[in-house]
């Protein structure tokens, strides 16, 4: 009897999920406000405490806006291939906002919280690119469309480079140009954390003995490549992407991820140029003390600005990644727990990253051994071997893993290929189950 009631309650989750979110959030606010008041009394309202309080107000105005949008997407989860990536992107605002506010109040937590935030930052860039690819691949034959388009030339300052051949090569170069940022950012974040624990990483300290300098250069180059590939892909597919208003989404991603990074860099250089020394009273006469104060104040300014900016970002995301295009009253959504777990199933990310590492390593081997040129895989086809080369495998990320490829190939033989769709293990199970049900229906019809 109890189990039946639980199943009935789960089946009606759309009725109680919104009230539950508001009750939980209200409880957090009611618990947080007394703590803030107590903190203010203890610190006698100094300038830093006022900044922390103002930042907290903006943060706790931003989070409900984003949570509301996420819940609405869960309720109207009619296009999982697209909404999965949208929800992952929307979580960026709470992650950034809470990270900035907590680091502002508890600087000793910065190494751990910043590491988590930067990992999620790389994850967001990946999801945005996959959202674009899935949208296009679901609407058209992406290879044929891309091959029929006029050649897209490179932007300045890379206009002297040979244009990428339109078609698969162009798509995969853009995709892997963005995936490299995910890989590099995860690596540099981990290295920065380890170096920080070892005492050889201090953010903002420009010294050849400081790991920050080298990681800063690598991150900048990697970010430039990722942003360049994203802009180039948008330029090539602008007309096809117009129905989903890509410019607003693109600007939201750029503003949060890239603008916040360069904002921190600008603040750091303004401090180094002593433009803010008088404002913050950095004039002790001791270079080491002044340098520590510069880094501390740079972190405070950056995190305070992010707290305010995340409220603006939450409003922008509410319109740019709206749930309204996905509302379908006739669509029967699944269980809320299953839907939520499906969003956090990162097996699709793992598969794409594994494929990216494989393609890059094979491409380097080919160049070192002078076997072929151009995009890894050249013009070879499946006829070169039972497993194909790395270019062929990119058409279907699981083409070299028997079971997954068999089911995906079987599912898509009758219709569109969906070559670039990122599919998680849970979604594979759904596809397999749907395929089996379809086969059984065909047998019954015969």
How would you write 323-357 as a 3-class SS string?
CHHHCCCCCCCCCHHHHHHHHCCCHHHHHHHHHHH
Look up the CATH number of the domain holding residue 149: 1.20.1070
Residue 346 has which token pair?
Answer: 């990162």
Q: Has residue 4 been placed in a domain?
A: no
Q: Tell me the Cα Rg of the chain.
A: 25
Cα–Cα nearest to 434, from 311, 334, 292, 305:
334
For 193, the 3-state DSSP assignment is helix
**What angle separates helix 110-139 from helix 211-236, to the nearest 10 degrees?**
20
Q: Has residue 233 been placed in a domain?
A: yes
Sequence-ordered list of residues with C-beta below 8 angstroms from that of 58, at least 6 positions apart, any chain: 97, 307, 308, 310, 311
Q: What is the mean pLDDT of the chain?
A: 75
**Among candidate residues 305, 327, 342, the one where a domain is terminated:** 342
For 179, the 3-state DSSP assignment is helix
pLDDT score of 393 = 34
Q: Has residue 144 been placed in a domain?
A: yes
**Among candidate residues 311, 342, 373, the one where a domain is terminated:** 342
For 205, the 3-state DSSP assignment is coil
Cα–Cα nearest to 282, from 295, 269, 299:
295
Same domain, residue pair 24 and 168:
yes
pLDDT score of 48 = 75
Asked if residue 86 has pLDDT above 90, the reply is yes
pLDDT score of 314 = 92
Residue in the block written with tokens 């607003």: 248
CB contact at 8 A, 254 and 154: no
Model confidence over 69-79: pLDDT tens digits?
A: 998 888 888 88
Same domain, residue pair 383 and 295:
no
Q: Has residue 8 been placed in a domain?
A: no
CB contact at 8 A, 139 and 431: no
CB contact at 8 A, 220 and 262: no
Domain of residue 318: give its range. Answer: 13-342
Could you count the other beta carbons within 10 Å of the beta carbon of residue 324? 8
Q: Has residue 6 been placed in a domain?
A: no
Same domain, residue pair 426 and 336:
no
Same domain, residue pair 293 and 388:
no
Same domain, residue pair 184 and 292:
yes
Give the model's confidence band at 278: pLDDT under 50 very low, under 70 low, under 90 confident, else very high: low
> Would you give the distance in Å from CA 124 to the centre of its chain?
0
Same domain, residue pair 172 and 86:
yes
Model confidence over 223-244: pLDDT tens digits?
A: 888 888 888 988 888 888 888 8
The CA angle 334-340-343, to the nearest 5 degrees, is 110
Q: Has residue 180 been placed in a domain?
A: yes
Asked if residue 193 has pLDDT above 70, the reply is yes
**Among candidate residues 342, 358, 383, the one where a domain is terminated:** 342
Please give the tally of structural domains in the chain.
Answer: 2
Asked if residue 410 has pLDDT above 60, the reply is no
Same domain, residue pair 281 and 386:
no
Task: Give the residue, 220 or 408, on which the prediction is more confident.
Answer: 220
Q: Classify the C-alpha dihedral 373-374-375-381 as positive or negative.
A: negative
Q: What is the DSSP string of 373-391?
A: -SSTTTT--GGG-SS--HH
Burial label for 236, CB within 10 Å (0-12, 13-18, 19+), is buried
Same domain, residue pair 311 and 324:
yes
Same domain, residue pair 337 and 413:
no
Cα–Cα nearest to 146, from 128, 127, 163:
163
Quote the CA–CA distance of 187 and 118 in Å, as a whole number: 11
Q: Classify the C-alpha dihedral 398-402-405-408 as positive or negative.
A: negative
For 188, the 3-state DSSP assignment is helix
Same domain, residue pair 301 and 431:
no
Sequence-ordered list of residues with C-beta below 8 angstroms from that of 364, at least 6 positions apart, any chain: none
Model confidence over 342-392: pLDDT tens digits?
A: 777 777 777 777 777 777 777 777 777 765 444 444 443 333 333 443 333
Q: From residue 24, give the alpha-carbon distance in Å to each of 30, 246, 347.
A: 10, 33, 30
Quote the CA–CA distance of 322 and 115 in Å, as a whole number: 29
Q: From residue 95, give the alpha-carbon distance in Å to each of 62, 120, 166, 414.
A: 11, 8, 37, 42
pLDDT score of 292 = 75
Q: From residue 39, give the alpha-carbon distance in Å to each of 50, 305, 371.
A: 11, 21, 66
Model confidence over 318-353: pLDDT tens digits?
A: 999 999 888 887 776 666 666 667 777 777 777 777
Asked if residue 443 has pLDDT above 60, the reply is no
Same domain, residue pair 269 and 369:
no
Q: Has residue 30 been placed in a domain?
A: yes
Quote the CA–CA distance of 318 and 4 in Å, as a whole number: 37
pTM over 0.85: no
Quote the CA–CA distance of 126 and 92 in Å, as a whole number: 13
Residue 388 has which token pair?
Answer: 């194909």
CB contact at 8 A, 73 and 87: yes
Same domain, residue pair 96 and 194:
yes
Model confidence over 146-156: pLDDT tens digits?
A: 888 888 888 87
């Amino acid at each position: 009897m109890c189990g039946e009631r639980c199943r009935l309650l789960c089946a009606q989750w759309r009725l109680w999920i919104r009230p539950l979110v508001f009750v939980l959030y209200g409880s957090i606010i009611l618990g947080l406000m007394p703590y803030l008041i107590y903190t203010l009394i203890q610190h006698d309202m100094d300038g830093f405490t006022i900044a922390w309080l103002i930042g907290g107000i903006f943060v706790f105005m931003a989070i409900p806006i984003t949570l509301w949008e996420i819940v609405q997407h869960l309720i109207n989860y009619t296009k999982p291939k697209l909404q999965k990536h949208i929800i992952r992107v929307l979580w960026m605002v709470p992650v950034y906002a809470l990270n900035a506010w907590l680091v502002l109040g508890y600087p000793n937590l910065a190494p751990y919280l910043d590491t988590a935030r930067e990992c999620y930052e790389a994850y967001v860039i990946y999801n945005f690119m996959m959202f674009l690819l899935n949208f296009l691949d679901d609407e058209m034959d992406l290879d044929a469309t891309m091959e029929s388009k006029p050649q897209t030339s490179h932007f300045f300052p890379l206009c002297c480079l040979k244009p990428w051949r339109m078609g698969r090569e162009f798509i995969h170069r853009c995709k892997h140009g963005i995936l490299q940022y995910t890989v590099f950012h995860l690596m540099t974040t981990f290295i920065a954390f380890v170096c920080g624990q070892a005492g050889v990483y201090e953010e903002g300290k420009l010294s050849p003995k400081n790991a920050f300098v080298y990681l800063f250069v690598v991150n900048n180059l990697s970010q430039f490549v990722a942003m360049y590939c994203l802009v180039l892909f948008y330029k090539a597919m602008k007309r096809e992407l117009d129905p989903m208003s890509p410019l607003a989404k693109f600007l939201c991603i750029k503003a949060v991820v890239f603008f916040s990074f360069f904002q921190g860099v600008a603040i750091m250089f303004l401090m180094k140029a002593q433009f803010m020394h008088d404002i913050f009273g950095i004039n002790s006469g001791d270079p080491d003390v002044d340098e520590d104060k510069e880094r501390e104040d740079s972190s405070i300014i950056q995190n305070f600005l992010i707290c305010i900016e995340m409220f603006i970002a939450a409003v922008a995301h509410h319109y740019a990644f709206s749930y309204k295009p996905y509302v379908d009253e006739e669509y029967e959504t699944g269980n809320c727990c299953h839907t939520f777990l499906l969003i956090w199933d990162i097996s699709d990310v793992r598969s794409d990253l594994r494929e990216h590492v494989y393609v890059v390593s094979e491409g380097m081997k080919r160049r070192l051994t002078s076997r072929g040129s151009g995009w890894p895989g050249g013009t070879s086809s499946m006829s070169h071997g039972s497993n194909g080369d790395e270019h062929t495998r990119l058409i279907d990320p699981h083409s070299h893993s028997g079971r997954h490829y068999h089911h995906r190939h079987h599912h898509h033989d009758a219709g569109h290929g969906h070559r670039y769709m990122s599919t998680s293990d849970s979604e594979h199970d759904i596809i397999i189950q749907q395929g089996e049900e379809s086969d059984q229906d065909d047998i019954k019809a015969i």
